[in-house]
Amino acid sequence: MSTTIESTPTRKPNPTKPRPLPQWKVLVHNDDVNTYEHVIRSFMDILRMEVTMALVKTTEVDRSGAAVVCVTHREHAELIQGQLQSKSLTVSIEPDA
């Protein structure tokens, strides 16, 4: 006597790909308070920029009035904003369109 086992199809879970988090820009604005050296050092300390990039971004802030120094998810952008503000820099964040 033989027995047959009928198998029922098993459903595979529908894997959903995680959606990337929306990106936010961190902008540093020009002011009449901070020196080039202070802004460069702040970028190097907080954003881990190399001195050349820190100088480029600082010059952009000075000449254009503002510069995007980082694009990241909102929570991280808020953290960086607070850290740069603690160095007396003028900083804002906005969605990256």
For the chain, which residues make up each domain, given as ranges? 30-95
Under 8 Å between Cβ of 89 and 57:
no
Report pTM.
Answer: 0.80
- The per-residue pLDDT for range 41-52, each reduced to its tens digit, is 999 999 999 999
Q: What is the DSSP string of 44-92?
A: HHHH---HHHHHHHHHHHHHHSEEEEEEEEHHHHHHHHHHHHTTT-EEE
Tokens of 24: 């936010």
Mean of pLDDT over the chain: 92
